[in-house]
Amino acid sequence: MEQHCPGCSHPTFEVSTLGQPFEVVKTHMAANRADSIATTLKKTYARGGISGFYQGLIPWAWIEASTKGGVLMFTSSEIDYRARLGGLFGGVGGGVAQAYTTMGFCTFMKTVEVTRHNTWKIAYDVFQREGIRGLNRGVSAVALRQMTNWGSRFGIARVTESVFRGKDTNRKLTNTERLASSAIGGALACWNHPSRSFASKCKQWSDGFYRGVTPRIGLSVYLTVCMVFGGDSVKAYFNESQKKKAASVHA
């Protein structure tokens, strides 16, 4: 069976660098739909300086990121190994698994911290009224979003890799080609952005549907590069290490 990267720390690196600032800007714009990117940046900086762009990082974004590595990547790798359309179905399966484990709760906590700030009081009030189900309310919608997000990211990235290979299906891609494939997969995966705002903005067509899509594209590109390109690189490293160990044993 294919070797999996232990720990998969690249999602934590992603969210601790540019990932969380993109997430904070995207979440603010979703909650304050009249604010432009410039206004969002000013308000976020005024709220806490540079640290304002990292609200919700510890522990919620770290918990979510670790499940991307531990749950999403493991599940997607297993499906990728066993299915012909592994990129697409791997992303779908991994996204669903991650959503139902921790992402529903983490999404609630991060959103409250960025938009309302009194995170623990609101979480306690919701828990008192509705229990764990209240904190995870909407998790099925999150799972559906993750299905389309990660199915698209992995699927489009793998298709792009096939386009780069052309007729030579066994050719090893260059790092530039792999990076480009991940970036294209991340950007085009944002096709589902209108579904996030359909219910509340159905009367305000293009602007309403695509509010916040710019920071989301930035987040998606960076996240997909870290998860697909970074994940493949780490798995290749450990696979190569295993091969060297096996060769030394038989030598």
Q: Where are the domains of the chain?
A: 10-236
State residue 80's pLDDT score.
63
Average pLDDT over residues 48-66: 86
Counting every residue written for the chain, the total comes to 251
Nearest to 126 by CA among 112, 144, 110, 143: 112
State residue 79's pLDDT score.
61
Other C-beta atoms within 10 Å of 225: how many? 22
Average pLDDT over residues 173-187: 92
Nearest to 186 by CA among 148, 225, 160, 215: 225
State residue 86's pLDDT score.
56
Residue 239 has pLDDT above 90, yes or no: no
Contact call for residues 34 and 211 (beta carbons, < 8 A):
no
135 CB contacts (<8 Å, ≥6 apart)?
A: 104, 105, 108, 109, 123, 126, 127
Enter the pTM of the model: 0.62
Distance (Å, whole) CA 97 – CA 245: 32
Residue 16 has pLDDT above 60, yes or no: yes
Query: What is the rounded average pLDDT for all residues in the chain?
Result: 78
> In terms of pLDDT, which residue wins out, 248 or 206?
248
Average pLDDT over residues 64-78: 68
The DSSP output letter for 84 is: T
In whole angstroms, how far apart are CA 84 and each of 75, 88, 90? Answer: 15, 9, 10
Nearest to 163 by CA among 193, 188, 191, 192: 188
Nearest to 11 by CA among 52, 99, 72: 72
Structure tokens at 148: 């389309």
Residue 198 has pLDDT above 60, yes or no: no
pLDDT digits (tens, 9 = 90+) for 121-176: 888 888 889 888 887 777 777 777 778 887 888 889 989 999 999 989 889 999 99
pLDDT digits (tens, 9 = 90+) for 79-135: 665 555 555 666 677 667 777 777 667 777 877 887 777 788 888 888 889 888 887
Does domain 10-236 fall into CATH 2.40.50.1020? no
Range in 3-7, 113-117, 149-153, 240-244 the model is least confident about: 3-7
Average pLDDT over residues 32-37: 86
SS (H, E, C) 121-155: HHHHHHHHHHHHHHHCCCHHHHHHHHHHHHHHHHH
